Structures are given as structure tokens and as C-alpha cells.
Amino acid sequence: MREKTPYLILGAVMVAASVNPLSVSLDRTSEIAKTSFDMVLVWGAGLVGIWLAELLFRKGGRITAWFLSFNFSTRGLFLSWGVAGALLTYWYIPGPFALSVLYLNWKVVQLATFTLAGIIAGIGWYGMTNVWRSATIFAIFSMMATMAEIFLELGAYYSENVYSVYPVSQFIDTAYLWFAMAFVPSTFYMVKILKDMGIF
């Protein structure tokens, strides 16, 4: 477990940095802050999930063995892409998104859900091959770029802000940030997928 301990420590620090009174306060005034804290929370919880998967693997047990066997047999995709992906997507539908910004009780539920989703995704990651890990990272950043394009279309061309808890100007700024964050990683991992598959 020693080699996985840094995952737990770094993950816990990232979760703590995203779940505190300051981050909750900034969420209500800045869309960039909200999306950034959400991202850090999920990545941090994901690291904790990887550590937890290693712990379960070492502890053994009938139920644990069945669970990890299922995770490996599905290449971690059911947990990471299916379960975790569905939980994260729900809270970025305009209605639930607004509730998590406007009301503290819904914010608590959203943060708990994102933490759970991150841990589940981390356990899923543990069962992935290198090809699927590269594909997963590529998919994440590609979806960020896609959402950024949608945000720009709605905000800049149609002046329609479906996430109305923030002004249109923040809507557009968030889109540009997502574009900047997605461009280089998506290109890198697209090439890495091809290398992992042995194409070149």
C-alpha cells in the first residue's frame, strides 16, 4: 500500500481544497470557480478511489473479489463511464446545476455525489488497461471542448444562457477556459491511444 499512499494524501488535499466554506462561497458568484472546484473535487476523489481499489485488492474477501473481478472484466468502463459519468452529468443539467448554486442543502448533496462519483471512477480506473485509460482521459477533455463549443454557441451567438444563475459573460469566459484546458491534453492523449494500441 505504500506506493499508493501518495494517491490518498494528494486526493484528500484536493477534496479538502474543493469542499470548504470559501469554495462554496465562490461558487455562488463565479461559474469558472464552480466548474474548477468541481473538477478538482472529482480528480481528488478519483485518486482516493484508486487507493481504495488497491486496498480492497490486498484485503481480499469473497465479495471484494467478485466486485474487483467484475470491474476488471468490464475494463473499469461500467464504473467510470457508466455510473460515475451518469452521476456527474446529472448535476450539469441546467435544473440541478442551478439548485446546487442557489441552495446550500442541494450544494451539499452535489458535493457528496461528486465525491462518490470520483471514488467510483477511481476504482474503475484501477481496472482499466493502458489503452482505456488513455481513451478515458481523451474522452474527458474532448467532452470539455464540446461543452465549450456549445456554451459559446448559446452565449455568443444566441445570447441564451441555459445556466442562468450566472451572467452570459461568465458563460462565455468558462467556455474559453475549457477550450484552453482541453486543447493540449486531448491532442496528447489522442496520440497516446494510437501508441498504446501499437499503431505507431
Is the pLDDT assigned to residue 189 strictly greater than 60?
no
Return the higher-pLDDT residue of 194 and 96: 96
pLDDT attached to residue 91: 94
115-164 tens-digit pLDDT? 999 999 999 999 998 888 888 888 888 888 888 887 777 766 676 677 78
Average confidence (pLDDT) over 56-81? 90
In the chain, domain spans: 1-128, 129-200
Residue-wise DSSP of the chain: -GGGHHHHHHHHHHHHHHSSHHHHHHHTT-HHHHHHHHHHHHHHHHHHHHHHHHHHHHH--HHHHHHHHHHHHTTTHIIIIIIIHHHHHHTTSHHHHHHHHH-HHHHHHHHHHHHHHHHHHHHHHHT--HHHHHHHHHHHHHHHHHHHHHHHIIIIIS---SSTTS-HHHHHHHHHHHHHHHHHHHHHHHHHHHHHTT--
pLDDT more than 70, % of the chain: 87
In the predicted model, is pLDDT for residue 2 greater than 60? no
Mean pLDDT over residues 90-102, rounded?
92
Report the pLDDT value the prediction gives residue 195, as an integer from 0 to 100: 64
Q: Do residues 19 and 111 lie in contact, with contact meaning Cβ atoms separated by under 8 Å?
A: yes
Query: Position of cell 488513455?
Result: 134
